[in-house]
Structure 1
Amino acid sequence: MAALLSRVPRPTRVDLWLALGLLLLSAGSTALIEVFGPLPEDRPAWPWGYALILTACLPVLWRTAFPCTVALITVVAATVYYPLAFPDGVVMLSALVMLYTLVRWGYRIFGWLLGPGLFVLLNVYGLLTGGGLRADTMATLAWIIVLLCVAEILRWRDVYRRADREREEESARTREEELLRRASDERLRLARDVHDTVAHNISLINVQAGTALYLMESQPERAAEALSTIKQTSKDTLTELRAMLGVLRAVDESAPRAPVPGLERVPDLVEGARGAGVAVELRVTGQERRLAVGVEGVAYRAVQEALTNVVRHSGADRAWARIDYGLSELLVEVTDDGRGTVGPPAPGNGIIGMGERAALIGGTVDAEPVEGGGFRVRVRLPVDGGPARGQGEPG
């Protein structure tokens, strides 16, 4: 019995307050009618009337977990209550709530069959038993149909808004990918410029160096001019390289030509680290969802850089990667059991580049040794705040 109860889902806070409110309204209205305005034909509500009220209201606790089952129990109990001549309270309110819930949440056919169907059956029962059609029952049926129509309208409005929001997100994602493609093309252009500049100037330096060696004894003045040209050319080359590499700075990686990798490719990184001999465990918590391209790209690069450091430098046997989808923040954490560092880690291109990419979208990076051995990299990225459309490259 205890095991069975442990598998029953806990009611949500909304369902708890809704069930409590319906129970108080239904039982309270019945009690008030019995005390202040009883009708001669009313039967005492205690105990069976209140039992039906409890049966109609209590299942609403599990409205979210079992909407169809709860609606069936609630509607049947509330509908049966009235023909038994108990005081005419607001027991039907719980049935109305569940019928509205069914249609609003997408259980349309069941909701439309359950609501009007039971009232039609009750009126047929009344005709067969000689009771005739009750005006109040027909009015209630009309109100139920109006309620179901309102639920349909609101449901379609939600569907339209959801589709409109998805279109906006897709449009924003397309714009982001276009900007990233243009940035990639620009980086490729700069890479070609670097190649052309270096190839040209190095060739010039090579020719001038040969000339200087050839003329050093016979024509020292021309040899000095060649050496001067070499000095100026090498200075210009270094200046241009510094300017271009400030944009193109990348480690062990060419300019991207494929779609920007996201969190869906993190398992590939984990498998790669495992293939290198490190037992990596990946854990994903929170509600997984598609994030902005910039956020997913920065998170992917952070995991990539952290696992690369684990494989190359840590000497670790095991590592743990965690991705936590928060409501307003994405947390990426990689921890290993390797040698760690003594004191703060020496700043390298990897950690610096990771911090720069995170800072572009308003995030932070913490890299520090773990007490007792090992090293931890923790990256926090805003999900919906700041300029969350950036995309950096590894440093």
Structure 2
Amino acid sequence: MALPFRDRGGRMSPRVADAVVTLVVALVVAVWTLLSAGYEGEPVGRTVAAWALIAVGCGALCFRRRAPVVVAAVTLLACAVYYPLSAQDGPLMITFALALYTTAAEGRFVAAVALASVTLLAVGLGEIRQDAGRRQIDDTSLAMLAGWLISLVAVGRAQRTRLAYLHEVEQRAHAAEREQEARALQSATAERLRIARELHDVLGHSISLINVQSGAVLHRLSKKPEPEVALAAAEEALEAVKATSKDALRELRATLGVLRQADEAAPTGPTSGLALLGDLVERARGTGLDVRMELTGTPVPLAPPVDLAAYRIVQESLTNVTRHSGARTATVALDWRADELRLRIEDDGEGAPEERPLGSGIRGMAERARAFGGELTAHSTTEGFRVDARLPIGAPASTTTTSEGDPR
């Protein structure tokens, strides 16, 4: 907990600092005046008035930050009355010097210049009107006074500039820190959504296949076939479920590899890609879907992120076909061109209802394509549903985010 006389930075609060400065200045002026009183005597009335002016001048310094111009004017008037009145000639001028400096340091530069000019003119006119033998300040002292006043204003101005610069540096540091925190949060959010999208694609596809395969064998068993037929159907379904779940676990481990600790080896690249497209198609065929492959052009190696994106687009499309369309056949076409890869996945199912917008699964596929400068469209056709995607070959990776949910 911060002490009452300290601010949050551990420094002395401005009010306490002003009180301390006022006390020190008052002590210096009082001691100096008392020492001078031993050499110069004066009537009691003048002594009382002089001490009253000292109290006013020193006391005003408590408010020098809140009302710098007023305090400077009050201390100047106190000095203007004090010195002609008192024979002690105490250092009350210190109060005006400090108030003038504070006025410039608080940004009241014009007022500080005006007060310094008024002071110099008043002293100069007062001395000019005196007889030659009665002058209190000679020309050299007047020039020194002018330099002194100019120096006070200049130092105050410099302090104001320095504080403004330090404040700007502090604000920039805070802004940079907030920007860094925002970037870290954005990166964490993007990575979290990327992992969520990968999990959606992996688990959604595999669980859909397992669900379809399990449903198919249960439907066959509900007809109460011969024990040998039932056993063969169950064995075939369990083998398909085993293979599908094995692939799902493999991809799940690779996806969760990004959550490894800092001292663990991170995956060097995606484990899925178009090289595994044959396995993906075979798993889809295991659900009873007739999947046909079409390949045109000459395949070329893709950057790992682009290769993974192409695989996920086909995977999500086949997941939608097996889960939602009720299709009997599907076509997966890859068209390799000079600078891009064209993907086409279409089926003869029911398509997407017109009254229901496409879900986040298809939006996720579109964002994958856009991340590499490509594009993806999905729409119903007269025969079923069709997904067209274009991925530039050798496209650089970029970060995208998406929400996960039902795909269609």
**What are structure 1's unaligned runs of at least 5 residues?**
1-10, 249-395
Quick check: 1:153 aligned with 2:164?
no
1:21 counterpart = 2:24: yes
| Matched residue type, 2:27 | L
Across the aligned residues of Structure 1 and Structure 2, the Cα RMSD in angstroms comes to 3.3
Cα separation, 2, equivalents of 1:239 and 1:83: 98
Confirm whether residue 171 of structure 1 aligns to residue 176 of structure 2.
yes
**Structure-2 residue corresponding to 1:196:** 201
Code of the residue aligned with 1:32 in structure 2: it is L
Partner of 2:119: 118
**Within 2, Cα distance between the matches of 1:210 and 1:17?**
86
Deviation at 1:129, TM superposition (A): 4.9
The correspondence of residues 1-395 of structure 1 with structure 2, limited to 5 A, is 12-35=15-38, 37-38=39-40, 46-84=47-85, 86-130=87-131, 134-135=137-138, 136-216=141-221, 217=225, 218-230=229-241, 233=244
Q: In the TM superposition, what is the alpha-carbon distance from 1:197 to its structure 2 partner?
A: 1.6
Q: Is the 8 A contact 1:22 1:94 kept in 2?
A: yes
SS at match of 2:85: coil
Helix, strand or coil for the counterpart of 1:185? helix
Rounded to whole Å, the distance in 1 between the matches of 2:36 and 2:50 is 13
Structure 1 pair 102/243, CA: closer, same or farther in 2 (3 Å)?
farther
> Does the Cα contact within 8 Å between 1:49 and 1:86 map onto a contact in 2?
no
Shift of 1:228: 4.6
CA distance in 2: counterparts of 1:147 and 1:68, whole angstroms? 14
Contact 2:40/2:87 (<8 A) preserved? no
- Residue 73 of structure 1 and its aligned partner are, at CA, apart by 0.6
CA distance in 2, matches of 1:108, 1:238: 73
Inter-partner Cα distance in structure 2 for 1:32 and 1:137 = 26
Amino acid of the structure 1 residue aligned with 2:168: A
Moved more, 26-35 or 61-70: 61-70
Larger radius of gyration: 2
Once the two structures are TM-superposed, the CA of residue 245 in structure 1 deviates from its matched residue by 9.2
Identity of aligned residues (%): 33
Residue 62 of structure 1: CA displacement? 2.3
The aligned residue for residue 300 of structure 2 is none
Q: Distance in 2 between matches of 1:49 and 1:197?
A: 91
User: Is the 1:79–1:118 contact (alpha carbons within 8 Å) kept by the matching residues of 2?
Assistant: no
Q: TM-score, normalised by structure 2?
A: 0.50
When residues 221 and 162 of structure 1 are mapped into structure 2, their CA distance, relative to the original with a 3 A threshold, is same
Q: What SS does structure 2 have at the residue aligned with 1:46?
A: helix
- The answer to whether the Cα contact below 8 Å between 1:215 and 1:223 also exists between their aligned partners in 2 is no
SS in 2 for 1:51: helix
Structure 1 residues 5-27: Cα deviation after superposition (integer angstroms, max 9, x where no partner) = xxxxxx92222222222222112
Given that 1:212 and 1:224 are in contact with CA atoms closer than 8 Å, whether structure 2 keeps it comes out as no
Range moving further from structure 2, 170-179 or 89-98: 170-179
List per-residue Cα deviations over 1:211-244 (Å, max 9, x = no partner): 3225543241242231354366458758977997
After superposition, give the CA deviation of every residue in 1:291-344 in whole Å (9 maximum; x if it has no partner).
Answer: xxxxxxxxxxxxxxxxxxxxxxxxxxxxxxxxxxxxxxxxxxxxxxxxxxxxxx
Distance 1:235 1:195, change over 3 A: same
Output one character per residue of 1:267-302: Cα deviation in whole Å (capped at 9) or x when no partner: xxxxxxxxxxxxxxxxxxxxxxxxxxxxxxxxxxxx
SS at match of 2:65: coil
Contact 2:50 2:86 in 1 (8 A): no
Ranges in structure 2 where 5+ consecutive residues have no aligned partner? 1-13, 260-408
How far apart in 2 are the matches of 1:162 and 1:12? 20
Q: In the TM superposition, what is the alpha-carbon distance from 1:29 to its structure 2 partner?
A: 0.7
Per the alignment, in what secondary structure is the counterpart of residue 107 of structure 2? Answer: coil
- Change beyond 3 A, Cα 1:25–1:126: same
